[in-house]
Structure formats: structure tokens, C-alpha cells
Amino acid sequence: MSVTARRGSWRRLTGGPAPLPEETRSGWLTRRHLEIALGLLWLIDGALQFQPYMFSRAFFVNVLGMAQMGNVPHLVALLNHDISVLMSSHVVAFNTIFATTQVAIGIGLLWSRSATIARIASIAWALGVWSVGEGFGGMFMPGMNPLEGAPGAVILYAAATLVLWPRRSEGDAVADVGLLGGIATRVLWTVLWTGTALLELEIANNAPNALSSQLTELAQGEPAPIAAMDHTVAHLMFGHGTELALLIMMSQVLIGSWVLRPGTRRLALGAGIAVAGIYWVIGQNFGGIFTGQGTDPNTGPLLVLLALSLWPRVRAQSCCAVSTRADAQGLDKEHVPSSDHEKESTPELAVTDYQNEQAHLVGLAVDHHDSDEADMSTIYSGQKASKSKANTPTPIGPSD
């Protein structure tokens, strides 16, 4: 049986095109490709951790000291203090472990055979660093907002790992085949964007000069081009902090809520990618990776990764049909479901319809064959009668 016949038989039996592999249907936007991108981000984190500043005592004191600021739980503050004292006395050893662990996670995600172990390590490491090392991403610090990286990049590594953890083989988006599933991932997107939008209600974020002051402070230590960009934007925003905070909050609420509706899902995801890119360039300064003290690219790339995992994919459709003798003669055409009831018929009914169709085609072929035999018999009888008449002798009688 030819490939065309096999695909046509599958369509008649199931009411739809033959299934295709995920990689064929999805093109470049596949779960595996996004997981490789996540692994590359982990490799960047590990490479940044090998910077000379990270091997200094100042790194542990500053990072863990910032984690204790704000209204973090008392037990977390005590734990951070004890860890900072311990690590400050063995800086090189601990930082080497940190950097090597992140590089190992990245390599593990790039290699499919070790991806499962790398996913487990990724979640465990991210949760530990986010809760203890970063003090829950600085969410308890006054003035923290998404422009500066709330709720913390490291927690998004754990979320992305769960979203990209394979569980199913079919879905309209990459997140649909992941461990969380499409619905839970969309809810996560909504909570992430609307939750951080509420941070703009703090007085420290919506004061007239709040945003301008934040950008001016973030420019410190950056290369000259990035610092000049921050100062320029800060000058333009001077005195408009309240209006901009309201605009940011409304935009994020729409991005978070519109993803729940299929009609506005692409718009919400596209807007989320655009806003995340603006945050990453202006407020986050590419994660501070050009300062020599940045530990990760910050939340911008991870928000884009989550958006791509939710982006509806276009499936390839099979348009091949079975060519039969009846189709060639115009006696019967392939049955195409014209209603949702026919498309949702059970496989048993589909098999019965297929058998009835084949019996009908065989009957038409038999009738056509019998008609051909009848025509041939008539022609043969006529030819035989003509020959018999020609061979009959002419009677000889008396002439008149």
C-alpha cells in the first residue's frame, strides 16, 4: 500500500490526519529546543560565577548581606548570617563549588540522557539559592519592582524547569506537554505578571521621582554606554514616576490576564516578550553581566522563555487523499466529515463506515463489470447472427 493510501485510510478510520512527530509538527519551537536554551542560561550563570570578583570575600558578604535586608523571616536571616560567616572563611572552595554546580546543570540539560538528573538538580539548587542566598529574590525589600528583577531570576529557573519537564507527547503549546501542563503554566504566568504589578502600589515605587532615582542608582558601575542610556532615560522620567508606575501596573495586569483567553493569548505573550525586553535592557542592564559582578542575566530572558513555551504552535496538516477507481470515473467521492458530530465519531463507527463504503464501491464495480459483460454479449450475439445470415445459402427455385 502506498503512503497516500495509508494516510487516506487513517483519515477515514479516525476522522483526522495521521499523527506526525513533534519535531516535524513544531518546527524550531519544540520543548527540547527551549530546554537547551535553559541549559545555555545555566552555563552563562556558571561562567559568570568564575569571575574574579566572585572569589573575593566581598561577594559573599554583599550578596548574603543583601539577602538579610528587609522583612525576611527571622529564621532565614539567622541562617544567612551563619552561612555568610562560614563561606567568608573558605571563599575559593565554596565559589568553585557554586560555579561548577551551575555549569554541570547546564551541561546536563544540553545532553538528553542526563537531562532528568539535571532537572532535579536545577529545581533544588534554584529553590535553595532563591530562599536562602537571595532572601526570596529581595521581595521583602522596599522599592523592589519588576524593572529591577522581581521576583528574582533564580526562581524562574525552577519554574521553567517544571514547565519544560516532559510528560505528554501532544499539545498546542510546549507548556501543554510539560509537567505543569498548559493550564497551570498560564496561571503561573498570570500570577507572575499581576503579582509583580502590585509592587508598584508601594510608595517607594510610585513616588514622582522614584523611577528616575532607581535608574540613576542602577547606572553605577555599568560601562559608559549603558550608564549614559540609564541617565538619559532617568532624565526623561524625572517627575513622572506616579504616571509611569500606573502604566506599568496596568500593562502587567493586562499581560497576565489576557493569556487566559485564547483570543488574546498571542497578544499577551507578544506584549510580555516586548516588556521583558525593555526591562532587561533599561532597568536590569542585561543582568549587570558587563560590570564583572553580575551573577545571572536576570529575569528578562527567562520571561521570554516562558512566553515561548506558552506560544500556540501551528501543526502540519496532511492533505493527501486516496485515489480510487470510483473517484477516477466520477462515481463516488471520498467522504469528508462536514460536521463536528461526524468528526467526533467513535473508531467502531468509523470502521463500519469504511466497510460500508468499500462494499458500496465493490458493488458499483461489479455492476459496471456486469454491464460491460452484457454489452459485450450483445455485440457478440449480433456479430454471430450477422455471420450466420451471411453463411446461409440462397435457395434456388424456378425462375419466373
* Three state DSSP letters for 251-305: HHHHHHHHCCCHHHHHHHHHHHHHHHHHHHHHHCHHHHCCCCCCCCCCHHHHHHH
Buried b (16+ CB within 10 A) or exposed e, 228-243: ebbeebbeebeeebbe
Q: What percent of the chain is helix, strand and coil (3-state, nearest 5)? A: 70, 0, 30
Give the total number of structural domains in the chain: 1
Tell which residue, 340, 331, 338, has the closest CA to residue 371. Answer: 331
Note the pLDDT of residue 51.
96
Q: Is the peptide bond before 151 cis (omega within 30 degrees of 0)?
A: yes
Write phi, then psi, for 185 (nearest 5 degrees).
-70, -40
Residue 390 belongs to some domain of the structure: no
Q: How many angstroms separate the Cα of 396 from the Cα of each of 127, 393, 399, 400?
A: 122, 9, 9, 12
Domain membership flag for residue 327: no
Number of other CB atoms surrounding residue 244 within 10 Å: 18
- Per-residue model confidence (pLDDT) at position 16: 42
Predicted pLDDT of residue 273: 98
Is residue 352 in some structural domain? no
Please report the pLDDT score of residue 110 as a whole number: 97
Looking from the CA of 215 toward its CB, the CA atoms found within 13 Å total 23
pLDDT at 353: 55
What is the per-residue pLDDT for 394?
Answer: 46
What CA–CA distance (Å, rounded) separates 291 from 223?
7
Question: Is there a domain that residue 138 lies in?
Answer: yes
Instruction: Provide the 3-class DSSP secondary structure of residue 171.
Output: coil
Cα(141)–Cα(175) distance, rounded to whole angstroms? 32
List the helix and strand counts (H, then E) for the chain: 18, 0
Question: Is 153 part of any domain?
Answer: yes
Q: Which residues share a beta bridge with 178? A: 166
Q: Is residue 204 part of a domain?
A: yes
Residues in the chain: 400
The parent domain of residue 178 ranges over 3-310
Q: pLDDT 10s digit of each residue in the chain, 400 long?
A: 443 444 444 444 444 444 434 443 447 789 999 999 999 999 999 999 999 999 998 888 777 766 666 667 777 777 877 887 888 889 999 999 999 999 999 999 999 999 999 999 999 999 999 988 788 888 888 888 999 899 999 999 999 999 999 998 778 899 999 999 999 999 999 999 999 999 999 888 889 999 999 999 999 999 999 999 999 999 999 999 999 999 999 999 999 999 999 999 999 999 999 999 999 999 999 999 999 999 999 999 999 999 999 999 765 443 443 344 444 444 444 444 444 444 444 445 454 555 565 555 555 544 544 554 545 555 445 554 444 444 444 444 444 3
* Domain-located, residue 354: no
Is 195 exposed, middle or buried, given 0-12, 13-18 or 19+ CB atoms closer than 10 A? Answer: middle
What's the pLDDT at 166? 94
Residues 6+ apart with CB under 8 A from 67: 76, 80, 132, 133, 134, 135, 138
Alpha-carbon distance of 46 to 100, in angstroms, equals 7
Say what the pLDDT of residue 243 is.
Answer: 94
Would 317 be classed as within a structural domain?
no
